Structure 1
Amino acid sequence: MADLLRTAPMAALKGLDTTLELTRHAQALKRQGYDFALRYYSHNAAKNLSLGEARALAQAGMRIGVVWETAGTRAGFFTRAQGLADGAAAWLMATQTIGQPFGSAIYFAVDYDPTQADIDGAISNYFTGVHAALYVANEGRPSYRVGVYGSGLCCGALMERGIAACSWLSQSTAFAGSRQYAEQKRYDMIQMLPMRIPGEDGIILDIDPDATHPDRDPGLFVV
């Protein structure tokens, strides 16, 4: 029996991501079968995950994922210095605001279709900066796994180089390498096209559906 349990396949988890604050909607989402919600760390308080929201999601039986996203929509944004700044800011939100447990992931968004040259240069430099910021913040001890949100080409390259520990594939199937990355199921999480779903009290929520890879740990957490 123990051997059967160890080899039994895991189920993919059903989730969503949104810029909307979900505190009042957590129970309604769980009733609709959502296992997790992905929310934001950023400099924009209006879209950020709050501690109360994180607790409401956890109390509803949902897991949480987080992504740092500000202006990562062009190559010029990505530098090592920007990675250092974003890594430090994400660390502060994770530790001081949310109490996110170590060992879970913080994803960093590459929200455009980068070229191979962009990935080899600016984007790799940015993620090197993120790692350095987390290393310094926790005095060289392991803390958060660094994830990447982006195209198949970007996710694949950063994963292969060990710059990212987990990948969340963007819904933009026209991005370089994304169709193949999805077909080969190389992702830890995959995002699908936007939709609208009911929340509490008849409120309609604009969300992007997501799913986890059944055999991988995408770094979700509870508080």
Structure 2
Amino acid sequence: MVVLTGVKAPFELTQHAIPIKQQGIDFAIRYYSHQAGKNLSLAEARALTDAGIQIGVVWETIGAHLHSFSRAQGLADGAAAYLMAQSVITQPSGSAIYFEVDCHPTAEDIAGPITRYFEGVNQAFNAARPGEPRYQIGIYGSAATCQAIIASGLASLSWLSPSEGAAVLSGGYAGYNLRQLSQSVLPVDDGKKIHVDLARSNDGLPTGLFRVL
């Protein structure tokens, strides 16, 4: 399996799908959230698929607000993310939804509220009826957070935040599935440029990316 290069963007990529593919972009990570303007749409997912770009999704509500993590919040976020994937995007079964922990929690934080948050996400996903899509749960965050939640069985995929680059290079955590890199500027049509975060997959490991029909 080759290493894939991707972008993460908080804005619609429909009109940029072809030019970014021409620049060697293999996948695009977009958002599920309560902010409609930030979210992946079905039309956008189809445009990316048609351009040959795989899609990844990350749920964002809490971000860096550690005090908001709880089992109840995880249950609510998990249910909302699952519904968006199933009913809005028709995301295929077996693909992943990553959940963002965009902070640097202590070991106590990880063992407490963050673990309870992912317990809630799992509860929401497990409530799906037989025959409905089954999605993998991924985690975005620090190496310590990713390792702990993966080890607990509450997520199956991990995506390292950009601050973890040094840890990866020094061999600190080799089991990640995706790794976010630095920000970049890509030229698109009509002389415009877009600001995105670059990302890479880990050779030989699954990513949870998908395409739509």
With normalisation by structure 2, the TM-score equals: 0.94
Partner of 2:184: 195
5+ unaligned residues in a row in structure 1: which ranges? 1-9
3-state SS of paired residue (2:162):
coil
| Equivalence for 2:166 | 179
Q: In structure 2, how many angstroms separate the alpha carbons of the residues matched to 1:118 and 1:179?
A: 23
- Within a 5 Å distance, the mapping from 1:102-181 to structure 2 comes to 102-138=93-129, 143-173=134-164, 179-181=166-168
Task: Decide whether the 8 Å contact of 1:196 with 1:205 is kept in 2.
Answer: yes
For residues 73 and 138 of structure 1, the distance between their equivalents in structure 2, rounded to whole angstroms, comes to: 32
SS at match of 2:182: coil
Q: Does structure 1 conserve the Cα–Cα contact (< 8 Å) formed by 2:102 and 2:140?
A: yes
Matched, 1:11 2:2: yes
Contact kept? 2:182, 2:197, Cα under 8 Å: yes
CA drift at 1:196: 1.0
| Counterpart secondary structure, 2:197 | strand
Alignment RMSD, CA only?
1.5
Q: Tell me which amino acid in the other structure corresponds to 1:212.
A: S
Give the letter for the 2:203 counterpart. Answer: P
Instruction: Look up the match of 2:81.
Output: 90
Aligned twin of 1:55: 46
Q: Distance in 1 between matches of 2:131 and 2:140?
A: 25
- Contact 1:166 / 1:187 at 8 angstroms: preserved in 2? yes
Query: C-alpha separation between the residues in 2 aligned to 1:200 and 1:137?
Result: 42
Deviation at 1:180, TM superposition (A): 2.9
Over the matched positions of the two proteins, sequence identity in percent amounts to 50
Aligned residues of 2:62 and 2:69 also touching (Cα < 8 A): no
C-alpha separation between the residues in 1 aligned to 2:202 and 2:168?
12
Contact in 2 for aligned 1:188/1:213 (Cα 8 Å): yes
Contact 1:127 1:163 in 2 (8 A): yes
- What is residue 18 of structure 2 aligned with on the other side? 27
Q: Which residue is 1:221 aligned to? A: 210
Partner of 1:205: 194
Aligned partners of 1:116, 1:72: CA distance in 2, in Å?
A: 18
Q: SS of 1:192's equivalent? A: strand
Q: Determine the C-alpha separation between the residues in 2 that align with 1:115 and 1:142.
A: 34
1:56-71, aligned counterparts within 5 Å?
Answer: 56-71=47-62
Give, as a single letter, the amino acid of the residue that structure 2 aligns with 1:100: Q
In 2, the alpha carbon distance for the partners of 1:180 and 1:197 equals 27
Matched residues in 1 for 2:133 and 2:33: separation?
22
Structure-2 separation of matches of 1:48 and 1:144: 18
The one-letter amino acid of 2:136's match is R
Amino acid at match of 1:218: T
Would the aligned equivalents of 2:110 and 2:148 in 1 still touch at CA under 8 Å?
yes
